[in-house]
């Protein structure tokens, strides 16, 4: 069964304390992996697409990486405005899109 | 360029009432989706439309119907609302061909009493 699991469910960090969020997946024929950011009361906002193992993408304090079984979203020196829920999704070989349940990130000033 | 728009933003229904949630996109995307998001459950796909003129069931279609009115618009109808349908509903679109990210609307918060 195709599945996407994100960990941890929630993470509290001090401002400037770097960390990583994990997205592990089991799908038939990965076509792409997506990261989204969701602020309270809003729709998910697209961040990155990763296509194949070894690929990396960066945007400001965020860097996403991909292996054959998981993806990491690294957050370097986070600020309070980085607080949000981060969602991971995969596009499988049959073009089905499967979302994880997300990681709630809270950055304390 | 408004992206994906949804109406209404909030709605309260009584059990048994019906309503239609509207979604429109101005990005010339082929594929459109309806999701519901509940605490602890993540995003669950209700229905999707891979292209104009086609619709397919997702993970949780019971109690819902959809209409792909044209390339821009995709509506979700609740014929007889139930308290279990209390949720936040998101519409999304993507180009459709190949690998591609989705773009989401702002959501509709629905409460069924």
pLDDT digits (tens, 9 = 90+) for B51-64: 999 999 999 999 99
Contacts 24+ apart (CB under 8 A), A79-83: A79/A15, A79/A107, A80/A15, A80/A107, A80/A108, A80/A109, A81/A107, A82/A107, A83/A107
Q: Which of B40, B42, B103 sits opposite A46 (nearest CB)?
A: B103
pLDDT digits (tens, 9 = 90+) for A96-109: 899 999 999 999 99
Q: Which two tokens stand for residue B71?
A: 């390339």
Mean pLDDT for the stretch of residues B74-101: 94
- Report pLDDT for B41: 87
Whether residue A8 is preceded by a cis peptide bond, meaning omega within 30 degrees of 0, is yes
Partners of residue A43 in chain B, C-beta under 8 Å: 4, 90, 92, 104-107
Residue B56 and residue B64: Cα distance in Å, rounded? Answer: 12
Band the pLDDT of A20: cuts 50, 70, 90: very high
Band the pLDDT of B98: cuts 50, 70, 90: confident
pLDDT digits (tens, 9 = 90+) for A23-80: 999 998 899 999 999 999 999 999 999 999 999 999 999 999 999 999 999 999 999 9
Interchain proximity B43–A44, CB inside 8 Å: yes
Q: Which two tokens stand for residue A51?
A: 């296509």
Closest alpha carbon within chain B to A49: B101
B99/chain A closest Cα distance in angstroms: 6
Three-class secondary structure of residue B7 per DSSP = strand
**Looking at the predicted structure, is the pLDDT value of residue B97 above 80?**
no
Interchain proximity A99–B100, CB inside 8 Å: no
């Amino acid at each position: 069964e195709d599945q996407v699991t994100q960990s941890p469910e929630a993470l509290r960090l001090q401002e400037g304390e770097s960390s990583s969020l994990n997205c592990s997946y089991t799908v038939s024929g990965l076509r792409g992996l997506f990261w989204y950011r969701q602020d309270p009361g809003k729709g998910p906002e697209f961040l990155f697409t990763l296509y194949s193992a070894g690929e990396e993408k960066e945007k400001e304090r965020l860097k996403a990486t991909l292996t054959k079984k998981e993806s990491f979203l690294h957050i370097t020196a986070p600020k309070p405005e980085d607080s949000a829920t981060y969602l991971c999704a995969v596009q499988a070989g049959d073009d089905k899109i499967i979302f994880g349940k997300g990681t709630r990130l809270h950055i304390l000033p | 360029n408004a992206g994906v728009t949804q109406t209404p933003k909030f709605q309260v229904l009584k059990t048994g009432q019906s309503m239609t949630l509207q979604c429109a996109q101005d990005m010339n995307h082929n594929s459109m989706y309806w999701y519901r998001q509940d605490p602890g459950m993540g995003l669950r796909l209700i229905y999707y439309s891979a292209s104009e003129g086609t619709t397919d069931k997702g993970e949780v279609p019971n109690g819902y119907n959809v209409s792909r009115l044209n390339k821009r618009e995709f509506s979700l109808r609740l014929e007889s609302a139930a308290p279990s349908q209390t949720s936040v509903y998101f519409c999304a679109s993507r180009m459709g061909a190949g690998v591609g990210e989705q773009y989401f609307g702002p959501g509709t918060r629905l409460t069924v009493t």
